[in-house]
Amino acid sequence: MNAPEGTRLNKFIGESGFCSRREADKLIEQGRVTINGLRPELGTKVQVGDKVEVDGNPIAASAENKSDRVYIAYNKPIGITCTTERHIEGNIIDAIGHNERIFPIGRLDKPSEGLILLTSDGDIVNKILRAENAHDKEYVVEVNRPLTEHFIKKMASGVPILNTVTKPCVVTMQSKMVFRMVLTQGLNRQIRRMCEYLDYEVVKLKRTRIMSIRLAGLKSGQWRDLTEDEMLEINTAVADSSKTASN
């Protein structure tokens, strides 16, 4: 009889809610993880009954239906940094003060504000980031001088930044110096870099939507649990991401 297939160690730790898979890989490389008292290699699989520990602290397997996981939407204020590093002043974890160990899905620049998702489900973080182009994100942006038709057309058709050209997207003018933008890309500081290329400076940038998840009346600094419908959409969006995953 063949031995059970098991679960990759980084996935096991991620699903437990201890940290993301990427962070789990770092812990394994640092020799801080043991299985049944032994230090494993990257890629080792956890079998039923195995005892997994990080720094000597036991890691419990996730509930089969993930009923023990936390998924929240947070209206991030300007000045909050999307990091789990607690020694960094103004980190998002201390700002929220949740009683569960959570981490952000993606990021939102420190000078930016608005919607960001956080979770205790390290496995779904990786799936969402891998499937990033499968969902859209909406932003409201104020710039430092009046908008032109040329600017709107260029932002929508694509701008050369970071050794590539941004993908076509939907851009609409809201007022004299404010526009709305829907992205399916997530390049580093993308909107700010695009504006800079066209000689504009971002004065205010707010993310208002991720897929169908909206701020929904959340005041700056407030958070709420995701609804069943919102979770269904997320799980549908990432359903195929594991098939192309290398880990």
Tell whether 168 is covered by a domain.
Answer: yes
Q: Are residues 78 and 176 in the same domain?
A: no
Q: Are residues 204 and 83 in the same domain?
A: no
> Which letter, b or e, does each residue of 132-151 get, where b requires 16 or more Cβ atoms within 10 Å of its Cβ?
beebebbbbbbbeeebeeeb
Question: Among 64-68, 182-186, 224-228, 233-237, which stretch is predicted with the lowest mean pLDDT?
Answer: 64-68
For range 166-185, the mean pLDDT: 95
Same domain assignment for residues 93 and 152: no
Return the CATH number at 42. Answer: 3.10.290.10
- The residue segments making up the domain with residue 35 are 7-58
Question: Which of 109, 121, 199, 229 is labelled catalytic?
Answer: 109
pLDDT > 70 fraction of the chain, expressed in percent and rounded: 90
Q: Could you tell me if 153 and 204 lie in one domain?
A: yes
Q: What's the token pair of residue 155?
A: 């932002």
| Residue 208 pLDDT | 96
* Mean pLDDT of the chain, nearest integer: 87
Read off the pLDDT band of 246 (50, 70, 90). Answer: very low
Q: Is residue 2 part of a domain?
A: no
Determine whether 109 is an active site residue.
yes
Does 173 lie in the same domain as 152? Answer: yes
Q: Which two tokens stand for residue 3?
A: 């031995």
Mark whether 221 and 158 lie in a shared domain.
Answer: no
Q: Span 32-47, mean pLDDT? A: 89
**Residue 65 domain-assigned?**
no
Q: Return the pLDDT at 243.
A: 43
Residues 17 and 124 in one domain: no
Look at the chain and report how many structural domains it folds into: 3
pLDDT band at 247 (very low <50, low <70, confident <90, very high): very low
Q: Residue 2: which pLDDT band, with cuts at 50, 70 and 90? A: very low
Confidence label for 116 from pLDDT (cuts 50, 70 and 90): very high
Helix axes 122-130, 21-29, angle to 10 degrees: 110
pLDDT at 196: 97
The per-residue pLDDT for 240 is 63
pLDDT in tens, 181-227: 999 888 889 999 999 999 999 999 999 999 889 997 899 999 999 99
Q: Which residues does 137 contact at the CB level (< 8 Å), separation at least 6? A: 182, 183, 184, 186, 207, 209, 210
Q: Give the burial class of 171: count Cβ atoms within 10 A of its Cβ; 0-12 exposed, 13-18 middle, 19 or more buried.
A: buried
| CA distance linking residue 114 with residue 208, whole number of Å | 6
- Is the confidence at residue 133, as pLDDT, over 80? no
Could you tell me if residue 100 is inside a domain? yes
- Are residues 126 and 231 part of one domain? yes
* Residue 189 lies inside a defined structural domain of this protein: yes
Low-confidence winner among 54-63, 127-136, 141-150, 214-223 (lowest mean pLDDT): 127-136
Q: Do residue 150 and residue 183 come from a single domain? A: yes
Residues 168 and 122 in one domain: no
Greater pLDDT, 10 or 220 = 220
pLDDT at 152: 97
Give, for 73, the enclosing helix (H) or strand (E): strand 71-76
For residues 41 and 145, state if they share a domain. no
Pair (36, 142) in one structural domain: no
